[in-house]
Structure 1
Amino acid sequence: MITDTAAVRGAALDAVAAQRVYRSALEALSRPGTVHPLPPSGYPAALLPVLALADLDTGTHLVDLPGDAWEPIVEVATGAPVVEVHAARYVTVLDPAAAADAVAHAHPGSAASPESGATVVIAVESVVGGDPVLLTGPGVAGELLFAPRGVDPAIWTIREGRVADFPAGIDLLFVDPDGGIVGVPRTTTATTTTR
């Protein structure tokens, strides 16, 4: 559990780190399935996108690991309001066991307002070495296998339903403890496969 109030007050990323996170997240979503580096920090790597991208007008929702309490740090560092998962623009899932539920309830936006669709950031054991999915679509040269380790396979079926009404939909960012970030935006088709 996080109890250091100084850590809560000093949690904001500096401008250089925030810019690096922004660039890596943008590259990850522009080039689905490819690994991009996040800068080192004193926080779980999966927190970095919300720390860099959320602001006063951006609802956030955080699913902590049992016993952790990162939500106050995110709230103070970003000034972003904490909301229920279905209303959040950024959903951060530090507990992999809760990822499928978060994907199922994340807000997909609408055809008239696709930009309000959520970005769901999911902490994974690794962005390589797991069960592969085949990615195709814009930003992918032909097709690409993406194999995150520590991901509930149900996520892919749930995601398919959440992106069915394009341009509405959700975008996914997978982040491992070493700071590798991989994007699967709503424009990407993800097909489960076997090794």
Structure 2
Amino acid sequence: MTNANIFHHVHDTRKLYRRLLDSMAKPGKINTIADLLRGVPESCPCSSGTYALAQTLLDQQVSFYYASQELNADAAERAIEWTTGSHHTASHAADYLFIDTPPEMDEIDSIMQSVRIGTLAEPEKSATIALHVRRLSGADDLALPIILRGPGINGWHLLSVDGMNMEWLRLRSERNREYPTGCDFILFDDDGQIAALPRTTLIERRDF
């Protein structure tokens, strides 16, 4: 019997992982993890979404990079290391990158130019970027509406994002040009919603 008000590092991470797998298999589909985030400690120095995703994806075998404009970024790095057994490293060496607050344009460029995309012989050595945005929607009601096509999508799928700089998508297109190399994106918002942009997904800007 577990306390429903505490994030459980076994049961809740399994639930989140299943929902994340569903998002990866169906690019652009929005899944909610809000019920799981309610158990994240209020004292956590990073966002609840980053905390939950880090507990789910990280262990002693992988490394991570954490970026935030907040003053408690160092505390967040230490907390993630302590609770997952993973270790913090530079963006070019990390298996997972957690971007918790909107970075400046030059930082986006630096991250995307250095992020691991694997090689043709070893594509599995690529990285995944978990990007915190303000809001996700399946309608055309947010600042950045995009059309998704590719594996896992029947025809096309609309995803709208608020709080995501277009530079992420422009550089993603450049780095993911030569399949199977590339990096995957996980988007998560303030309402506890997640969506995935695997490297195989083609993205078009929708103008209204």
The partner residue of 1:174 within 187, 203, 206 is 187
Q: Normalising by structure 1, what TM-score?
A: 0.88
Could you tell me how far apart the structure 2 residues matched to 1:149 and 1:100 are?
17
Amino acid at match of 2:76: W
Find the residue that maps to 1:86 and give its secondary structure.
Answer: coil
The number of equivalent residue pairs is: 185
Q: Does 1:193 align with 2:206?
A: yes
Asked if the contact 2:132–2:189 (Cα under 8 Å) also holds between the matched residues in 1, the reply is yes
Counterpart residue number, 1:138: 151
Q: CA deviation at 1:13?
A: 4.6
**Secondary structure, counterpart of 1:104 in structure 2:** helix
AA aligned opposite 1:167:
P
SS in 2 for 1:183: strand
Q: CA deviation at 1:190?
A: 0.6
Counterpart in the other structure of 2:93:
87
- Aligned: 1:25 with 2:20: yes
For residues 146 and 180 of structure 1, what CA distance do their matches in structure 2 show?
Answer: 12
Whether the 8 Å contact between 1:63 and 1:94 is mirrored in structure 2 is yes
- TM-score w.r.t. the length of structure 2 is 0.83
Unaligned runs of 5+ in 1: 1-10
2:3 corresponds to which residue? none
| Residue correspondence of structure 1 range 23-62 to structure 2 within 5 A | 23-38=18-33, 39-40=36-37, 41-42=39-40, 43-62=47-66
**Quick one: distance in 2 between partners of 1:15 and 1:181?**
20
1:3 matched residue in structure 2? none
Letter in 2 for 1:97: P
Alpha-carbon distance in structure 1 between the residues aligned to 2:178 and 2:103: 26
For the pair 1:122 / 2:135, whether they are aligned, the reply is no
After TM superposition, give the deviation of residue 95 of structure 1 in Å: 1.4
1:151-170 matched pairs, under 5 angstroms: 151-170=164-183
Q: Deviations over 1:34-81 (max 9, x none)?
A: 101122232521332222111111011011232123111111111112
- Aligned residue identity for 1:62: Y
Structure 1 stretches of 4+ moved >4 Å? none
